[in-house]
Structure 1
Amino acid sequence: MIESRPLVAMIHAVPTGARVAQEAFAREFPQATVWNVLDDRLLEDALGAADGDGLTGALRRRMLRLIGHVVDGGAQGLLLTCSSYGDVVNTARALWDVPVLKADEAMFTAALAGPYERVAVVASTPPAVPAAVAQFEALAPAVRPDRPVRLVTALSEAAARADTPEAIARQLADALTAAGGEGADVVLLAQYSLSPARDALAGLLGVPVLDGAGAAARELRALLVPRATVTP
């Protein structure tokens, strides 16, 4: 039986992701007790890995050891906030009987399961765009096999240099307009670092804006607190 304050572990590769995820869980899943584990070389080592998909066997084993550590410590749910290690999740799910979420999986699932016909993905770093598209397209056949969806992407490197949530939101909105995505039904933030601009961007565009950490918190809340009412 799940306790009234379920223990949720998050494994982070960068301090910024940790902060954003903690804020999301405080907002969306306050019933949880959060356990943060930070390995601040995970991302650097993944980017420097030699094999084709960015992860060596040693890095996969390292992440699995971290997952095993928190599961052995009593974690009832787990979020990996570094998208570079998303492929390890499938192995973890086969090894442990607890919910293990990829960084943005819940966000893409929520968008595909919703009533949206046109989905926009916005990012501030170039690698985030193809990574987001790949995740979205991989989930679409299982989550939404019978309804078409149009995906538009927008990149604003200027947003990475903006110093307030409002300024970030303005840069993202401008990039989305330039990309022809102003008619999107929902907007997805491709990076945790963009999450502070979520509400400001929703205000500018007049449509829902989803972030990965918030969506993950809502999904784990639904899984671990069955009576909770979860809304996007």
Structure 2
Amino acid sequence: MIHAVPAAHRIAEEAFAREFPQATVWNVLDDRLLEDARHAGGLTGPLRRRMLRLIGHVMDGGAQALLLTCSSYGEVVDTARTLWKVPALKSDEAMFKAALAGPYLRIAVVASTPPAVPAAVAQLEALIPALRPDRPLDLVTALSEEAAAADDPESVARHLADALYAAGGTDADAVLLAQYSLTPARDALADLVGVPVLDGAGAAARELRGLLSPGEQPVAPAATVAS
């Protein structure tokens, strides 16, 4: 797993311990990736190459799967899939697949950092033609930078709920968390908005468990890259 923020490391570890305990998890952290992308106004060529070097590092180390936990760098996974023939997941890809397969007609995507919003929407919209071509989907986004500064899950949930109200997302059928760091607020946010709230870490762990078929053979490290 490759991470860009330390909080994603802990959250992903907890999800794998719960959903895929057979996996040996290898965490790689570059805690400047997200801040440098903010300062650059988005992903630049040097930042993409930096992430690819991290991915190459874990692949050279024998990783049998990759999870990139930072949604802002998700597009780099598309390049990685052409270079390495192992399962490679974007942070929220499994969550988006689950949401599109569900009965939801109006989905809200919430985030606490600006780069996460367009990155999440781009991933979700890219999956729609293949997974949901004939069913309508209304998408609303909400950003609360106050949530990033909150120091407990209940406060984070309140800020996210306020952002949803301001964005007109209160009638959504489901809410998707665009960042792993928001996962601790999932249950409190669900209580506030009264609809299912989906998180990416657990969905990713379940998908990789299925892809690696741990019941048939021992599982080598699954690399998580956090951002």
TM-score after normalising by structure 1: 0.82
Instruction: Confirm or deny: 8 A CA contact 1:48 1:54 kept in the other structure.
Output: no
Moved more, 123-132 or 165-174: 123-132
Amino acid at match of 1:212: G
Q: Distance in 1 between matches of 2:71 and 2:176?
A: 15
1:87 alignment partner, one of 75, 82, 85: 75
Q: 1:82 to 1:126 in 2, by over 3 A?
A: closer
Q: Distance in 2 between matches of 1:100 and 1:60?
A: 16
Unaligned runs of 5+ in 2: 216-227
2:196 matches 1:205: no
Unaligned runs of 5+ in 1: 1-9, 228-232
Partner of 2:8: 17
Residue identity (%): 79
2:134 alignment partner, one of 135, 140, 146: 146
1:30 alignment partner, one of 21, 24, 30: 21
2:184 matches 1:196: yes
Could you say which structure has the greater relative contact order, defined with CA pairs below 8 angstroms and 6 or more residues apart? 2
Instruction: Confirm or deny: 8 A CA contact 1:103 1:216 kept in the other structure.
Output: yes
Correspondence list, 1:73-152, <5 A? 73-152=61-140
Q: Distance in 2 between matches of 1:201 and 1:17?
A: 19
Q: 1:39 to 1:130 in 2, by over 3 A?
A: closer
Q: Distance in 1 between matches of 2:30 and 2:146?
A: 28
1:170 alignment partner, one of 137, 158, 165: 158
2:216 matches 1:223: no
Q: Distance in 1 between matches of 2:97 and 2:207?
A: 10
Deviation, 1:49, is 4.5
Q: 1:24 to 1:41 in 2, by over 3 A?
A: same
Aligned residues: 216
TM-score after normalising by structure 2: 0.84
Amino acid at match of 2:74: G
Q: Distance in 2 between matches of 1:93 and 1:166?
A: 38
Partner of 2:220: none
Amino acid at match of 1:162: A
2:174 alignment partner, one of 186, 196, 202: 186
